[in-house]
A and B are shown apart, each in its own frame.
Chain A
Amino acid sequence: MRQLLGKEIRLALHPTNLIFLSLSALLLVPDYPYYVVFFYTTLGLFFVCLTGRENHDIEYGLMLPVQKRSLVRGRVAFSVLIELAQLLLAVPFAILRGAISPAPNAVGIEANVAFFGFSLLLMGLYNLAFFPRYYRNPSRVGRAYLWGSVVFSLVMIVLELLTHVQPFFRDRLDTPDPLYLGAKLAVLGLGAAAYLLLTWIAYRVSARRFETLDL
């Protein structure tokens, strides 16, 4: 795994991954749909796969002494690394946002603990939507991303709408920390569990599809 991650970081990493990581700072914007930060994460991962196609990344990987499914494992692990880095980088900005601008976010959910739980859910859903389609036919990476981004966007819109119309979301989850911290921590825990489960399923399905794919 160390070698596969090294390959991803030294060869596959796209410059936009680092630029988009810095967009965790968007949590400082007073009124903003904060989930968009993680939409940029998925966009950066799409660029990795897109430039991978142009750079013949899979052909390079096939020359190495690894199984085909290991190439999938490396790419999914790299994606998890980027996604979690985005999330961890966002934490200090969320804390800073609360400290310097306590006014509520008029656009969407507050940058609070529940927000991170839902973000994990969103990224897990994206992984499940994108990777199995991508590894069904890596040359059609655009279609896979279209599907992944549609799923991400729709769920994101639903989550944001809930903070406006659904009482539990509006009155408990869409509040500054540490209000209702118990409920928010539960969302974070469930989001983390969903992320792990969805990403694991995404890997298993992708690896099976890629293993049987004639390249």
Chain B
Amino acid sequence: MEVLSVQGLCKRYATFALSEVGFAVRQGEIMGFIGRNGAGKTTTLKSLLNIVHPDAGVIRFFGLSFAEHEMEIKRRIGFVSGGMDQYMRKRLSTITSVTRSFYPSWDDDAYRGYLRRFALDERKTPNQLSAGMRIKYSLSLALSHRAELLILDEPTSGLDPVSRDELLDIFLALAREGVSILFSTHITGDLDRCADGITYIREGRIFSSEPLETFVGKYRALALTEDQLTDRVRDMAIGLKPAKHGYTAVALAGDAQALGLPSNKADLETIMVHVEKEGQA
């Protein structure tokens, strides 16, 4: 079942445009939304919730049109943009008390459970929490109103590797419980670890939206020496760039096989770096 489907989303600014953005998130799926800074990730996520007004496109949550069922949809999702940086000097208990009042479905037992699980002290204020703890608090709020879909904009940015790892564990546990997660990031290593699907946006257009394994399986990573740089290799290599020892690139799996050169499984970061490099050429 699709909890979110986006088709033909367009938004034009003077210097940037989202063009025909489309992707879907299924129940219990972790969808990574990747792209370099300025590619359109945040604009897309904001467009989903009408924070930015799309010029065109069809957006459906749980099969429902956002325009016609805004309140119901907002009660069933959790949206976290960046870290929890709102009302940094108010106690968590006060923020929770206000937030709770907006949700008829608020589950206080679940909230207490998340506080214990994340070792959060309600007497503290957000500015007394680390960035990781603030994200966990945001998740506690979202999950305590039984959000079925979490939309997270750069939730792991600014977190240390251990905190990021903890957060990814939480995402995996939530997905097992049936919660769907759409999260944007440019830290692709996080997605290698937990994502089921990848939606990759480049310059406002969807470059790819498919299962993670399918996407990374399309590419092979090449480490090349000067002697191996024939014209044929240059033609087939994507994002050829100098490295510490020789050159690196990725190639489509079929091309890499045809070249007969040694290649390795490519991870998301390697693919993204070279695809973006190719785009600049």
Contact = CB atoms under 8 A, between A and B. Distances in A.
B87 A66 contact: no
A65 B101 contact: no
Given A214-B52, A215-B52, A56 B101 contact: no
B276 to A, nearest CB: 26
B176 interface: no
B86 A55 contact: yes
Which 9 A-B residue pairs are closest in the complex by CB-CB distance?
Answer: A65-B74, A60-B86, A56-B86, A3-B101, A214-B52, A65-B75, A64-B102, A55-B87, A7-B98
B53 A11 contact: no
Contacts of B5: none
A120 B260 CA distance: 83
Contacts of A66: 71, 74, 102
B49 A65 contact: no
A63 B81 CA distance: 9
A59 interface: yes
A6 interface: yes
A142 to B, nearest CB: 21
A11 B95 contact: yes
Chain A CB within 10 Å — which of B52, B95, B98, B101 has the most? B98
Contacts, number: 58
Nearest to B101: A3
B53 A6 contact: no
Interface residues of A, number: 21
Contacts of A2: 101
Given A11-B95, A65-B103, A215 B86 contact: no
Contacts of B70: 67
B180 to A, nearest CB: 17
A147 B97 CA distance: 35
B50 to A, nearest CB: 8
A10 B51 contact: no
Interface string A30-48: 0000000000000000000
A63 B80 CA distance: 7
Contact of B97 (A10, A62, A63): A10
Contacts of A56: 85-87
A166 interface: no
Interface in A2-44: 2-3, 6-7, 10-11
Interface in B238-273: none
Given A60-B86, A65-B75, A66-B102, A11 B94 contact: yes
A212 B94 CA distance: 30
B46 A6 contact: no
A106 B161 CA distance: 70
Nearest to B104: A65
27 contacts: A2-B101, A3-B98, A3-B101, A3-B102, A7-B98, A11-B87, A11-B90, A11-B95, A11-B98, A55-B86, A55-B87, A56-B86, A57-B87, A59-B81, A59-B86, A60-B87, A62-B49, A62-B79, A63-B79, A63-B80, A64-B74, A65-B103, A67-B71, A212-B53, A214-B53, A215-B46, A215-B51
Interface in A168-215: 212, 214-215
A57 B86 contact: yes
A57 B86 CA distance: 6
A3 B79 CA distance: 19
A62 B51 contact: yes
B110 interface: no
Nearest to A60: B86
Interface string A149-170: 0000000000000000000000
